[in-house]
């Protein structure tokens, strides 16, 4: 089922949570709403579910206006960050809850409910725990119970609010994979909220980047990562270095380094900012390219598979990071205090928040 | 528990505090209560049995236990309602109402009794409304019920309020997304969670009502076989210097109350077990 959000705004007193949000979520996709805290992503999710009324704008499910429908009529599955399980019910009753509260005429028989709950328990790999209570389960298991409970009522789509936020790193990894497989199996539209860019890029078919109540960019993980439409998206998706410079004669000058860009404006000598990912910084012991700049190695961070270097540019004094493989690091046999030459690849230039093509 | 008692912890003083606790409880509770049984023991079984199965005594047991029970039930229902209103809504004068709830604790019960008796008597403000329907409140068991409801008001409110305050609203939202109606959400999701607190409040209100004397004697009329409560009967016996008779009734009362609290505690323990270790 597709979701369409048209011009939704929402504020709490003087705080504006959502500003005129437009968003389309096609059927069957796994979509991540990604943003820092306070960006409005959870508010948007709650609004889709009907847990929060919108100040203005409309919500459509499959082209049908649902803006003024009650939560109970919307038929969406919602999973909360802290599970929100019914503590006094065992796992079986938790999952069966949505079926047992139906009006008598629509309620499945006891045997059907039992059958359905057990098939859901198999789906979330919790067979045999039907008669445990939520307090007897681990965080990851509780979250899977919450998912099964939401799925029991055969929702039109699933909304997950920071589903892995309260879990430790290893369980989070496992659950991500599991959710991905579940999505492939069920073909259900799933929207999840996260502030973890890695989670969004790994899991989602489409990433919606949000900031200060606005949608900044929507696209596949590759699109948003490789072509961020503005500096916010660039810096939010992964680590980034930025260098201040000026643009003149179709060239951006960042200290001693010059880069040719597609700059047709009359204005010259305008401030520009260049963004580079740490893994796009080439480090060598001697200058390899004309634009190479000298830098001093300040500190080495060993991160396991990669090594991160903290460097200071000799020309501008700006501090930045570079990442390289362990092997490359061993080849160069680097030590802090060494004088190195760096070459910046794939620099993205922004003038006044707009991307300039190289 | 065993482990905790053995480990020293960062704050010492287990010996001192447990010693103090035992002395304190002995002086204030255990010794006075055992004297009660000692006094009673000076009677023969036959005398004891005759005293406590006297028609007038049995009638007063009935009055006391029934009115206390119904008053505690009333408080359980409306205490939850008051707690709900105080926790869920914001309205002008909320703090004032919150303060009023504790008033029955602070007020001398005799004052409350006199006030209630004058208002609920046949020509009192509220009493006359009921009198028009041919219903008497003051000087009937209904009057005792009113007084006991009054003095038991704070217990359920104060036990339920904090639990409701800590309640995770998302659980309610989860129920709503699953299609549960408001009533279903309340009955099947919220109420079971509040039940242990309601039971505690009920037990406290019930125990308090059983022992209440001051406010009841003014409104009950104190007619033997009809509106005579047990504490009053004990007072009467004492005034007649029948100390052993008084302690005999008191010890029956004590055992009965103890047993009832035990039963309620058992239910509480059962419901609490489900919530353990969240």
Two tokens, residue B152? 């038991």
Do the Cβ atoms of A135 and B170 come within 8 Å?
A: no
Do the Cβ atoms of B178 and A87 come within 8 Å?
A: no
Give Rg (Cα) of chain A: 25
Residue B278 has pLDDT above 60, yes or no: no
Give the confidence band of B7 by pLDDT, cuts at 50, 70, 90.
Answer: low
Which of B177, B189, B196, B268 is most worth mutating to test chain A (most A CB atoms within 10 A of its CB)? B177
How close does chain B come to A89, measured CA to CA in Å?
8
pLDDT for A358: 65
pLDDT for B188: 94
Give the confidence band of A218 by pLDDT, cuts at 50, 70, 90.
Answer: very high
Nearest CA in chain A to B187: A101
How close does chain A come to B88, measured CA to CA in Å?
17
- As a residue count, chain A comes to 358
Residue B252 touches chain A, beta carbons under 8 Å: no
Give strand pairing partners of B64.
none
Provide the b/e sequence for A202-211 (b: ≥16 CB within 10 Å).
ebbebbbbbb
- CA nearest to B107, candidates B72, B149, B151: B151
| Rounded CA separation B207/A274 (Å) | 76
Which residue has tokens 């339920």? B160
- CA nearest to A237, candidates A273, A210, A274, A205: A210
pLDDT for A226: 87
CA dist B114 → B11, B100, B154, B194 (Å):
50, 19, 20, 35
DSSP 8-state class, residue B226: T
pLDDT for A354: 80
Which of A49, A83, A86, A89 is most worth mutating to test chain B (most B CB atoms within 10 A of its CB)? A86
| Rounded CA separation A308/A334 (Å) | 12
| Rounded CA separation A65/A189 (Å) | 18
| Rounded CA separation A39/A209 (Å) | 9
Give the confidence band of A147 by pLDDT, cuts at 50, 70, 90.
Answer: very high
Residue B124 has pLDDT above 70, yes or no: yes
| Rounded CA separation A306/A119 (Å) | 43
Q: Which of the residue ranges A164-173, B132-141, B180-189, B236-245 has the most confident prediction, judged by mean pLDDT?
A: B180-189
Backbone phi and psi for residue A132, each to the nearest 5 degrees, phi listed first = -85, 165
pLDDT for A158: 93
Strands in A136-240 per DSSP E: 157-161, 189-194, 206-211, 214-219
Q: Are strands A15-25 and A3-12 parallel, antiparallel or unpaired?
A: antiparallel
pLDDT for B1: 44
**Mean pLDDT, to the nearest integer, of B136-141?**
86
CB B252 within 8 A of CB B43: no
Query: What is the residue-averaged pLDDT of chain B?
Result: 88
Do the Cβ atoms of B276 and A135 come within 8 Å?
A: yes
Give the confidence band of B28 by pLDDT, cuts at 50, 70, 90.
Answer: very high
Do the Cβ atoms of B177 and A97 come within 8 Å?
A: no
Two tokens, residue B181? 């109606």
Provide the b/e sequence for A56-84 (b: ≥16 CB within 10 Å).
ebebebeeeebbeeebbebbbbbbbbbbb
CA-CA-CA-CA dihedral for A121, A126, A128, A134, to nearest 10: -100
**Mean pLDDT, to the nearest integer, of A318-323?**
92
CA atoms within 13 A on the CB side of B143: 33
pLDDT for B275: 57
Give strand pairing partners of A152.
none
How close does chain B come to A199, measured CA to CA in Å?
24
What's the pLDDT tens digit per position in A62-108?
888 989 999 988 989 999 989 999 998 999 999 999 999 999 999 99
**Mean pLDDT, to the nearest integer, of B79-86?**
96
pLDDT for B277: 42
Do the Cβ atoms of B179 and A98 come within 8 Å?
A: yes
**Mean pLDDT, to the nearest integer, of A106-117?**
93
Residue B173 touches chain A, beta carbons under 8 Å: yes
Distance of CA A299 to the CA centre of its chain: 30
Do the Cβ atoms of A150 and B178 come within 8 Å?
A: yes
Query: What is the residue-averaged pLDDT of chain A?
Result: 90
What's the pLDDT tens digit per position in A251-292?
888 888 888 887 777 677 888 888 999 999 999 988 888 888
Which residue has tokens 């359905």? A116
DSSP states of A265-276 as a string? Answer: -S--SEEEEEEE
Closest Cβ opposite residue A101 in set B168, B180, B278: B180
Do the Cβ atoms of A49 and B174 come within 8 Å?
A: no
- CA nearest to A269, candidates A248, A251, A245: A248
**Mean pLDDT, to the nearest integer, of A286-302?**
89
Do the Cβ atoms of B174 and A84 come within 8 Å?
A: yes
Instruction: Provide, as residue numbers in chain B, all residues whose Cβ is less than 8 Å from the Cβ of A74.
Output: 177
Percent of chain A with pLDDT over 70: 99
Do the Cβ atoms of A87 and B181 come within 8 Å?
A: no
> Coil, strand or helix: which one is B194?
helix
CB A204 within 8 A of CB A31: yes
Backbone phi and psi for residue B28, each to the nearest 5 degrees, phi listed first = -90, -35
Residue B5 has pLDDT above 60, yes or no: no
Two tokens, residue B61? 């047991």
Q: Are strands A270-276 and A348-351 parallel, antiparallel or unpaired?
A: antiparallel
- Return all residues near A7 (Cβ < 8 A) that are at least 6 apart: A20, A21, A22, A56, A57, A58
> Coil, strand or helix: which one is A315?
coil
Residue A337 has pLDDT above 50, yes or no: yes
Residue B276 touches chain A, beta carbons under 8 Å: yes
Q: How much is the pTM?
A: 0.81
Closest Cβ opposite residue A102 in set B171, B179, B193: B179
Nearest CA in chain A to B180: A101
CB pairs under 8 A between A and B: 74
Percent of chain A with pLDDT over 90: 54
Residue A31 has pLDDT above 80, yes or no: yes
- CA nearest to A155, candidates A193, A99, A200: A99
């Amino acid at each position: 089922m597709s979701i369409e959000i048209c011009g939704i705004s929402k504020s709490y007193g003087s705080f504006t949570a959502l500003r005129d949000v437009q968003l389309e979520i096609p059927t069957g996709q796994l979509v991540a709403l990604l943003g820092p805290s306070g960006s409005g992503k959870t508010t948007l999710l709650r609004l889709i579910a009907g847990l929060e009324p919108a100040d203005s704008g409309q919500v459509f499910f499959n082209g049908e206006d649902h803006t003024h429908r009650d939560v109970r009529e919307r038929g969406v599955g919602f999973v909360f960050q802290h599970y929100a399980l019914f503590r006094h019910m065992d796992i079986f009753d938790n999952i069966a809850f949505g079926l047992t509260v139906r009006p008598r005429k629509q309620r499945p028989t006891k045997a059907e409910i039992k059958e359905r709950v057990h098939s859901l328990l198999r789906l979330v790999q919790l067979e045999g725990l039907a008669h445990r209570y939520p307090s007897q389960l681990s965080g990851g298991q509780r979250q899977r119970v919450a998912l099964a409970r939401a799925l029991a009522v055969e929702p039109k789509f699933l909304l997950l609010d920071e589903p892995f936020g309260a879990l430790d790193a290893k369980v989070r990894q496992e659950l991500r994979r599991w959710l991905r497989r579940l999505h492939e199996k069920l073909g259900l539209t799933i929207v999840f909220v996260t502030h973890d860019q890695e989670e969004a890029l790994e899991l989602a078919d489409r990433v919606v980047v949000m900031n200060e109540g606005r949608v900044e960019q929507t696209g596949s993980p590759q699109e948003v990562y490789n072509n961020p439409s503005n500096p916010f998206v660039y810096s939010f998706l992964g680590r980034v270095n930025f260098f201040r410079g000026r643009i003149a004669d179709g060239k951006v000058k960042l200290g001693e380094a010059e880069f040719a860009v597609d700059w047709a404006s009359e204005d010259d000598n305008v401030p520009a900012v260049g963004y580079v990912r740490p893994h796009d910084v080439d480090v060598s012991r001697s200058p390899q390219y004309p634009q190479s700049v000298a830098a001093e190695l300040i500190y080495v961070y060993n991160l396991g598979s990669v090594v991160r270097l903290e460097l200071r540019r000799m020309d501008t004094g700006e501090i930045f990071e570079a990442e390289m493989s362990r092997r490359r690091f061993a080849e160069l046999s680097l030590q802090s205090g060494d004088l190195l030459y760096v070459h910046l690849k794939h620099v993205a230039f922004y003038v006044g928040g707009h991307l300039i093509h190289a | 528990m065993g482990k905790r008692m053995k480990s020293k912890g960062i704050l010492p003083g287990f010996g001192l505090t447990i010693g103090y606790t035992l002395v304190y409880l002995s002086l204030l509770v255990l010794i006075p209560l055992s004297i009660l049984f000692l006094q009673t023991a000076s009677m023969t079984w036959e005398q004891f049995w005759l005293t406590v199965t006297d028609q007038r005594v049995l009638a007063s047991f009935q009055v006391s236990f029934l009115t206390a029970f119904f008053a505690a039930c009333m408080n359980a229902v409306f205490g939850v309602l008051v707690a709900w209103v105080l926790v869920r809504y914001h309205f002008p004068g909320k703090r004032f109402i919150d303060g009023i709830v504790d008033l029955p604790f602070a007020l001398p019960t005799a004052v409350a009794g006199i006030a209630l008796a004058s208002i609920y008597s046949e020509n009192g403000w509220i009493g006359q409304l009921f009198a028009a329907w041919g219903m008497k409140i003051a000087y009937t068991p209904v009057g005792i019920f009113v007084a006991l409801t009054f003095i038991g008001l704070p217990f359920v409110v104060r036990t339920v309020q904090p639990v409701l305050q800590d309640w995770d609203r998302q659980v309610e939202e989860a129920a709503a997304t699953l299609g549960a109606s408001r009533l279903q959400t309340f009955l099947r999701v919220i109420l079971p969670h509040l039940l242990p607190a309601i039971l505690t409040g009920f037990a406290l209100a019930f125990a308090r009502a059983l022992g209440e004397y001051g406010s009841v004697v003014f409104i009950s009329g104190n007619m033997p076989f009809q509106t005579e409560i047990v504490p009053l009967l004990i007072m009467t016996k004492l005034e007649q210097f029948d100390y052993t008779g008084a302690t005999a009734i008191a010890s029956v009362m004590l055992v009965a109350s103890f047993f009832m609290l035990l039963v309620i505690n058992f239910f509480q323990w059962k419901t609490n077990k489900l919530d353990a270790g969240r």
